[in-house]
């Protein structure tokens, strides 16, 4: 039986050292994180007595490259782990199934390696730039790198160095939680009695990317003012710990006057549906996205999850959170009242139905791309996937409706 | 509108010290400065200068040669900056507009230099009063404009570095700054031009012109005081405060990042792969100090001479001494492109690409290590479908 497995491959400019990686997305499960497992192939004649070293590094970029002056760099690289790959320092290393397969396939010159993400390492996040900005994207990025040298601290030459960008992501827990997030506020007015109270409840605590967020708004007006209109936003909160900066961006919004004005003494219960999507926020500066590798469709950045017992204040890198914000316009004199209800926006965990669907979609995309680039003929296996994808697309359309 | 100062100028010569000079006495051939001025321009010469002998020819020749060199350097350096910055897409950022503006002011200053060379050859100001006014107006606008542009560059750098995400000034704000620099340079160049407040007079070897800092009237003293604050003290304060705040910001930021790295058990924290480069704080301190010193070098001599002329021992201001500040600020206009532009990695790259004969080699490892390595990752296709047989 032939199983088609996609493998990421990249060679040094001189072609002597080659990386093979089974995947480029590595999942942080909070209690443990997938290690980076792969294989390096190197020609022994080329190596002579030198060694191959590997590094797992994360790059923080918190400012545009074009703005760098006076020798200040708006980026920092942290070498998270270094290891000697060839010759192997630990001959009893346990190989993952992927590594076993690759080593069997690639022969004696293949050397497996494994890197571990340190605890507290941040997730990959990219801050979107305006359309014409050609510089390197801002955010947190991971790179694995291999180079040939005599010792670890030796100068690294471009010709014999290879690096590959990978992603570190977080998935939603299997259990989406029972608690329904809600918030209740009330507002009184100077010079008049009574209050307007506003209660907002979401239908879930954790949403998957592309899902509809339903916010039920209950307004009871016991004041003498009336509510003119209701605005509903989904707000993405981005905290860039590297520069102590934070900002909020609306990623979805709607405004309605339906049911308005809510006159004194009246009540209103209404549910708003909003879908936060990266596609609706193209070219908007500063929108945080899941660290993206060029050829894949991107999501909005997933909410940052922290281990139990820790606060997001301890998190490094870029911390993302979301909330639904409801604003009531109480007229020119009454002003505005607003409330925020936090929720989480995440990738479905592997194994769940949703995950399978989106996986199929991704696979389809990359196959399509390959067909375009390489123009090679698809075998039957891929055709099956293709049909899967078509179905998926229809589902999506239905969902959007 | 013309104020008649002649009584003042042809009166007794209180500083004719050289007349008692033994050498001068013996030969009897020593002539006071300004004796060879054409009769119609004689009224422009301040009495102060008549108290000095005509400077020796090697002083004049030395300054003449210095001006030739400065003019060449200035036009070459600033011309290159204007050409490259205005035509390269990679250099089109709001902040770089300020550097462009500075180059325009500096080049404007160079436009005076051919005029000087003619004056120096003739021995008097070509064009008489009008020539003098044009010369001094050029110098005033370009000088004050350059000094306030320096201040804005410092402020913009502070804004950008202290908040790299969204702190940099926008195109609109920068354009406002640039308009502001020109407005800033205007009042104290135009007021003396129309002799509303202060006036322009030949100085030094009587071949250059600037505002009058020798007349001891209350009005004129106030003018010198004001121009000192306006074109020296205020920009200087902005520069010092901006760079100081920038430095302290970078220091705390570095500490904060080191803390974060510690949380992840990471020791190595570098801007690029080579750890041998200077620490960021040191780099900033060095760059800021150079810029500050440049400002001091450019404008302190002028301020000192003007203040002495107005409030101190006027006798100290010999023609030669009064030529020095002018040389200082002209030479800074040649150094500006070097300090602001040539330290810009993108500009150097662009120069290397366009003018390879300049011999500029931008070190890839030093400034663009992460850049080079990342571009490898994003340029070449790095996915490949591979079948693994089970």
Mean pLDDT calculated for residue range A380-397: 32
Q: What percent of chain A has pLDDT over 90?
A: 2
Q: What's the pLDDT tens digit per position in B70-100?
A: 999 999 999 999 999 889 888 888 888 999 9
* pLDDT for B314: 80
Question: Domain locations in chain B?
Answer: 37-356
| Residue in A70, A80, A127 closest to B283 by CB | A70
- Buried/exposed B45-57: b ≥16 CB within 10 Å, e otherwise: bbbbbbbbbbbee
How many Cβ atoms sit within 10 Å of the Cβ of residue A231?
17
* pLDDT for A358: 63
Domain A182-352 fold is Immunoglobulin-like (2.60.40)
Residue-by-residue DSSP string for B289-305 = HHHHHHHHHHHHHHHHH
**Spatial CB neighbours of B28, under 8 Å, sequence gap ≥ 6:** none
List Cβ<8 Å contacts ≥24 apart for A338-341.
A338/A185, A339/A183, A339/A184, A339/A185, A339/A198, A339/A200, A340/A183, A340/A235, A341/A181, A341/A182, A341/A183, A341/A200, A341/A201, A341/A202, A341/A215
Contact between B109 and B145 (Cβ < 8 Å): no
Rounded Cα distance between B113 and B71, Å, is: 6
* pLDDT for B174: 93
In degrees to the nearest 10, what's the CA dihedral of A395, A398, A400, A401?
180
**Spatial CB neighbours of B125, under 8 Å, sequence gap ≥ 6:** B41, B44, B119, B131, B132, B135, B202, B206, B207, B208, B209
Rounded Cα distance between A338 and A4, Å, is: 53
Mean pLDDT calculated for residue range B217-238: 89
Token pair 């690029």 is found at B272
Q: What's the pLDDT tens digit per position in A216-248?
A: 989 888 888 888 888 999 999 988 888 888 888
Residues of chain A with CATH 2.60.40.640: 182-352
Of B290 and A358, the one with more pLDDT: B290
List Cβ<8 Å contacts ≥24 apart for B39-43.
B40/B128, B41/B124, B41/B125, B41/B128, B41/B129, B43/B5, B43/B6, B43/B9
Q: Tell which B residues from 68 to 97 touch A, by Cβ distance under 8 Å.
A: 90-91, 93, 95
Rounded Cα distance between B37 and B125, Å, is: 9
Correct CATH for A5-170 of 2.100.10.30, 3.10.580.20, 3.40.50.300, 2.60.40.840: 2.60.40.840
* pLDDT for A294: 57
Whether B25 has a pLDDT exceeding 50, the answer reads no
Token pair 């507002």 is found at A187
CA distance A251 to chain B (A): 18
* Residue A368 contacts B where some CB pair is shorter than 8 Å: no
The candidate with the shortest Cα–Cα distance to A320, out of A294, A298, A343, is A343
Contact between B247 and B241 (Cβ < 8 Å): no
Rounded Cα distance between B192 and B190, Å, is: 6
Helix axes B57-87, B94-110, angle to 10 degrees: 150
ipTM: 0.71
Q: Kindly report whether the global pTM for this prediction surpasses the value 0.80.
A: no
Whether B2 has a pLDDT exceeding 70, the answer reads no
Whether B383 has a pLDDT exceeding 90, the answer reads no
Q: Do B165 and A10 touch (CB under 8 A)?
A: no
Residues of chain A with CATH 2.60.40.840: 5-170
Rounded Cα distance between B154 and B242, Å, is: 6
Rounded Cα distance between A65 and A72, Å, is: 10
pLDDT band at B373 (very low <50, low <70, confident <90, very high): very low
3-state percent breakdown (helix, strand, coil) of chain B, nearest 5: 70, 5, 25
* Residue A157 contacts B where some CB pair is shorter than 8 Å: no
* Residue B268 contacts A where some CB pair is shorter than 8 Å: yes
Which of A22-26, A367-371, B68-72 has the lowest average pLDDT? Answer: A367-371
* pLDDT for A376: 37
* pLDDT for B382: 34
pLDDT band at B29 (very low <50, low <70, confident <90, very high): low
| Residue in A3, A67, A80 closest to B168 by CB | A67
Q: Tell which A residues from 185 to 224 touch B, by Cβ distance under 8 Å.
A: none
Taking CB atoms and an 8 Å cutoff, what residues of chain B touch A243?
163-165, 253
Q: Tell which B residues from 147 to 166 touch A, by Cβ distance under 8 Å.
A: 157, 160-161, 163-166
Note the CATH architecture for domain B37-356. Up-down Bundle (1.20)
* Residue A7 contacts B where some CB pair is shorter than 8 Å: yes
Q: Do A136 and B374 touch (CB under 8 A)?
A: yes
Alpha helices in B88-127 (DSSP H): 94-110, 113-122
| Residue in A10, A105, A241 closest to B388 by CB | A105
Which of A1-15, A220-234, A336-350, B321-335 has the lowest average pLDDT? Answer: A1-15
* pLDDT for A385: 29
| Residue in B93, B283, B390 closest to A1 by CB | B390
pLDDT band at A313 (very low <50, low <70, confident <90, very high): low
Rounded Cα distance between B257 and B56, Å, is: 62
Residue in B273, B283, B288, B346 to test binding to A, most A beta-carbons within 10 Å = B273
Pairing of β B269-270 and β A245-256: unpaired
* Residue A142 contacts B where some CB pair is shorter than 8 Å: no
**At A87, phi and psi to the nearest 5?**
-70, 155
Which helix (H) or strand (E) element contains residue A6? strand A2-11
* pLDDT for A58: 86
Taking CB atoms and an 8 Å cutoff, what residues of chain B touch A315?
none
């Amino acid at each position: 039986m032939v199983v088609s497995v996609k493998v990421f491959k990249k060679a040094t400019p001189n072609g002597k050292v080659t990386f093979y990686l089974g995947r480029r997305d590595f999942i942080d499960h909070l209690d443990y994180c997938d290690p980076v497992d792969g294989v390096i192939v190197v020609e022994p004649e080329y190596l002579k007595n030198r060694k191959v070293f590997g590094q797992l590094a994360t790059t923080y970029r918190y400012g545009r490259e074009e703005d760098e002056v006076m020798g200040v760099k708006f980026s920092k690289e942290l070498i998270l782990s270094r290891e000697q790959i060839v010759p192997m320092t630990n001959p009893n290393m346990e190989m993952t199934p992927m590594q076993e397969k690759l080593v069997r396939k690639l022969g004696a010159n293949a050397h497996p390696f494994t890197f571990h993400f340190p605890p507290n390492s941040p997730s990959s996040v990219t801050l979107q730039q305006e359309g014409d900005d050609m510089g390197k994207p801002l955010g947190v990025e991971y790179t694995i790198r291999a180079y040939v040298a005599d010792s670890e601290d030796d100068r690294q030459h471009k010709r014999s160095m290879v690096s590959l960008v990978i992603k570190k992501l977080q998935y939603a827990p299997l259990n989406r939680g029972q608690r329904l997030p809600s918030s209740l506020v009330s507002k009184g007015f100077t010079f008049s009695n009574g209050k307007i109270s506003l209660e907002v409840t979401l239908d879930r605590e954790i949403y998957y990317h592309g899902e509809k967020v339903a916010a039920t708004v209950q307004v009871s007006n016991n004041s003498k003012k009336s509510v003119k209109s209701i605005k509903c936003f989904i707000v993405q909160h981005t905290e860039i710990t590297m520069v102590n900066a934070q900002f909020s961006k609306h990623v979805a919004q709607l405004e309605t006057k339906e049911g308005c004005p809510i006159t004194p003494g009246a009540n209103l219960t209404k549910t708003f549906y909003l879908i936060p999507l990266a596609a609706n926020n193209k070219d908007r500066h500063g929108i945080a996205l899941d660290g993206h590798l060029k050829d894949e469709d991107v999501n909005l950045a997933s909410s940052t999850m922290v281990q139990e017992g820790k606060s997001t204040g301890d998190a490094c890198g870029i911390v993302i959170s979301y909330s639904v914000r409801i604003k009531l316009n109480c007229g020119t004199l009454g002003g505005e009242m607003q409330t925020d209800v936090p929720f989480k926006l995440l990738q479905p965990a592997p194994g769940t139905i949703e995950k399978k669907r989106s996986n199929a979609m991704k696979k389809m995309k990359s196959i399509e791309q390959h067909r375009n680039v390489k123009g090679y003929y698809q075998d039957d296996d891929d055709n099956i996937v293709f049909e899967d994808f078509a179905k998926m697309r229809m589902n999506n359309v239905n969902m959007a409706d | 509108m013309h104020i008649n100062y002649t009584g003042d100028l042809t009166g007794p010569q209180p500083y004719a010290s050289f007349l008692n000079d033994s050498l001068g006495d013996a030969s009897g051939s020593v002539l006071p400065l300004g004796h060879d001025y054409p009769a119609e321009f004689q009224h422009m010469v301040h009495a102060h200068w008549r108290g000095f002998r005509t400077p020796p020819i090697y002083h004049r020749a030395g300054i003449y040669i210095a001006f030739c060199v400065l003019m060449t350097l200035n036009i070459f350096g600033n011309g290159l900056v204007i050409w490259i910055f205005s035509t390269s897409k990679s250099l089109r950022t709001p902040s770089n507009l300020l550097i462009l503006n500075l180059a325009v002011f500096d080049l404007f200053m160079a436009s005076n230099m051919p005029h000087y060379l003619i004056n120096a050859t003739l021995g008097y100001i070509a064009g008489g009063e009008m020539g003098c006014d044009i010369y001094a107006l050029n110098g005033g606008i370009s000088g004050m404009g350059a000094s306030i542009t320096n201040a804005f560059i410092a402020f913009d750098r502070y804004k950008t570095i202290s908040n790299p995400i969204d702190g940099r000034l926008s195109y609109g704000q920068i354009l406002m700054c640039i308009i502001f620099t020109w407005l800033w340079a205007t009042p104290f160049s135009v007021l003396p031009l129309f002799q509303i407040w202060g006036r322009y007079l030949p100085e030094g070897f009587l071949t250059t012109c600037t505002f009058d800092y020798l007349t001891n009237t209350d009005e004129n003293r106030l003018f010198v005081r004001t121009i000192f604050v306006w074109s020296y003290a205020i920009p200087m304060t902005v520069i010092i405060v901006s760079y100081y705040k920038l430095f302290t910001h970078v220091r705390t930021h570095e500490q904060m990042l080191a803390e974060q790295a510690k949380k992840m058990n990471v020791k190595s924290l570098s801007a690029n792969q080579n750890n041998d480069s200077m620490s960021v704080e040191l780099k900033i301190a060095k760059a800021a100090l150079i810029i500050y010193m440049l400002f001091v070098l450019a404008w302190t001599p002028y301020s000192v001479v003007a203040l002495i002329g107005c409030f101190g021992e006027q006798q100290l201001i010999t023609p030669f001494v009064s030529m020095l500040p002018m040389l200082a600020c002209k030479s800074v206009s040649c150094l500006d492109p070097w300090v602001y532009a040539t330290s810009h990695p993108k500009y150097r790259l662009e120069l290397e690409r366009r003018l390879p004969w300049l011999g500029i080699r931008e070190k890839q490892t030093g400034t663009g290590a992460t850049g080079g390595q990342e571009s490898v990752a994003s340029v070449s296709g790095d996915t490949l479908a591979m079948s693994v047989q089970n």
